[in-house]
Structure 1
């Protein structure tokens, strides 16, 4: 669990609720079914129109990364590469065959299988880099779904405010409804701006950061497998991969 993301989410909620109470508006001012429908449902509608189904599905699958990022341990990855290097030096590349099925990461399993199959180092690099770039492209497109929601939500908040003010103008003859109507109109603006800047855009930025970190780990794996394929000394491999720890 990413404690920073959890604290950030809780502080975002607290800032809205606390700000509303300190300003004297109260909690009731933050609830408006009409604003919810216009801004939140409207934002989802816009992003569904904007995004291919496969990209939207991928975005929903990686969204939990914001609170629970994929496990990242580059030191353990380097140790794994060194272990495989030692096995290959003692038993040859075929000695790694028993390690293939035990790999839970499809990328690692695919790379190790190429190593066992005796592919040339440059062929391994080329194929794994294609895999890496394809995976990275899919994940970045998925992260941009939340970026798009962060762009649409404030605009729809303005739409909600305008619609609310239109309703107010239709009731000018009844002054008792004016104050409540204007307050309700601006609730849509709060929904739009707050959801964009406290949820959607931070989520997109966090996911992009995690995707970049994951790609860095994939590059570490590629370099390690290439070094093993080239028969490098484990000490040289360790020195070669140490740069990925920074």
Structure 2
């Protein structure tokens, strides 16, 4: 078996939507998956936007198999830094959901041969990044046709209730930070930031939820999957399979997206 020549591209660029610069890593396909003689750049490749967990950054994804998966499957994996926004549009801060669904992809298409075909444009996330990914897919079905959640932190309503009572939220954000994201808690339940409410609407696209056996928030994925209906799959991995770096879950999710 030939050794994969894996690579990633790191860049910083200006964003109108974010009113400033942003950083991203792009994991690129293996050379034998690229049409190097395509001088007209006519061939375009599938793209997966991958969102990191709260308290992390896109560089964390270098511990995962993302680089190898891009090389093997012939896809571009775009991993932006979404700061402490949960990948959503903050009430008092950057609008990362809008950025990811529009400007990020447009910027990347100017640099890389990435498709505009929505059937080959996907999004996924890990931890709180899964919240941002699923929400973005539900809100922008004209952009993303498939979305996946890995060890998702999806019930932000429950986290808000913990913050209000002074408990540890488990995601590194407390009441004041969550208020900056969601503003008035009274309007969270049933609103546009509530995944349970969004999932009850006529959801388009396909969704995958992956987690290990015994994962504390697994019930959240199951509840949202039930609301989404038939176009949803749940995969449960043996406890410890991921070695804290998505060694099994991310390959599972990428295979599903590419099928």
Q: Do they superpose with TM above 0.5? A: no
Which structure has greater helix proportion? 1
> TM-score range, shorter-chain basis?
under 0.3
TM-score in terms of structure 1 length: 0.21
Larger radius of gyration: 1
